[in-house]
Amino acid sequence: MPILLPFSKTEHAPPPPQKGLTPLTNADLITVKPARMSTKITQQKIAEIVGGKLTQGDPAAALTGLNSVAEANSGEITFLGNLRYLPTLKSTHASCVLVAPGFNPEDAPEGIGLIEVENPTLAFSAVIREFAPPTRRFITGVHPSATVAASAVFDPQKVSIGPGVVIEDDVVVGDGTAIHPGAVIGMGTRIGSNCVIHANVTLKDRTLLADRVIIHSGTVIGTDGFGYEFTQGQHKKIDQLGIVQIDNDVEIGSCTTIDRARFGRTWIGEGTKIDNLVQIGHNCIIGKHCIIVSQTGISGSTRIGDFVTMGGQVGVAGHLEISSRVMLFAKSGVTKSLKEPGAYTGYPARPLMEGRKMLTYPAKVPELIDRVRALEERLASLEEKA
């Protein structure tokens, strides 16, 4: 049976075991379901799976795997999702490739199978699922080494709690949610249905997760915001009493940190996807369906609209507003609010064309120095002759 925490708010003695808990064994954890696909799939079958049309190649030819355009071998399928890889496609050893409608067969090796589909990149995800290795099986119940407070609320027949998980007082976990080994779920946290909390994730007290949220290993949600007031010659900590709220269908990568609000909430909107190694400060509001790439840092109390994309290593100062449908190129530095949709780049971030122009200027400095020196020498020569 799982260990029960002896620090319930209402009882000082160790509480009785929860009824109906289904212990997991270590054998359960390594159980995998068999692969759903055969080892060989015909080109015609692949076309049907992706909703495409086989425009060239043998419908009965068997495919045994998948790979990138550059690394695919005979018997494997690949895809052309970006025209920059067209030169590589011409020399690929793949037997079949997913292409966009209207693709010119002369741009591919002779005899290769061609499947036209509206979005090759998205369609290739369906192919990956067919050739995927065996996946972790969802085993309901609670592992004997898990530590679960008596006041925690969940249906043990409809969740999966792994080894070493700690679930503190007044936590609620929705049906279909899996909490993997070593995760810590702080007091008063609410986790919705069909979420996946990967190994060693920490959800600090009172964090709110909606449905179908995925959080990858090592991420910490709800750390104290970085708030201090300098007084009497030292930095005094300001209490951070708010929460973090994460809406439906958000996915957060590994080793990302999202700070709790000083008061109110730090809020991640529906459908937003956050990469590894991202820092989001206290009281930030991130809109719906945003993309935030690795090593981005967003300072506290910044508000970001919907459908915003931030490339790698973007930095955003605090207390700013970024309009919906803004795209920030990698390493952009945002020092003032961006209130118009569009693409921005550079430091400080400027509209794309202006920013690109500014980025080219430093490279011209050596040439300008040489020209200035030449002019100085010429001027000195003319002065000597005068």
Long-range contacts of 127-131 (CB under 8 A, 24+ apart): 127/46, 127/49, 127/50, 127/66, 127/77, 127/79, 127/98, 128/66, 130/36, 130/37, 130/41, 130/46, 130/49, 131/37, 131/41, 131/65, 131/66
The whole-angstrom separation of Cα 127 and Cα 49 is: 8
Residues near 144 by Cβ (< 8 Å), separated by ≥ 6? Answer: 1, 2, 23, 24, 25
**Pairing relation of β-strands 350-351 and 342-345?**
antiparallel
Q: Which of 180, 198, 216, 282 is labelled catalytic?
A: 282
Say if CB 174 and CB 194 are below 8 A apart.
yes
The whole-angstrom separation of Cα 96 and Cα 18 is: 55
Say if CB 164 and CB 31 are below 8 A apart.
no
Residue 222: phi and psi, rounded to 5, are: 95, 15
Q: Let me know how long the chain is.
A: 386
Residue 35: phi and psi, rounded to 5, are: -60, 140
* Catalytic residue status for 216: no
Q: What share of the chain is helix, strand, coil (3-state, %, to 5)?
A: 20, 25, 55
The whole-angstrom separation of Cα 232 and Cα 82 is: 59
Half-sphere exposure of residue 10: CA atoms within 13 angstroms, side-chain side: 8
Q: Classify residue 179 as exposed, middle or buried by CB count within 10 Å of its CB (0-12, 13-18, 19+).
A: buried
DSSP code, position 65 = E
Q: For residue 26, what is the enclosing H or E element?
A: helix 26-29
Catalytic amino acids? 282
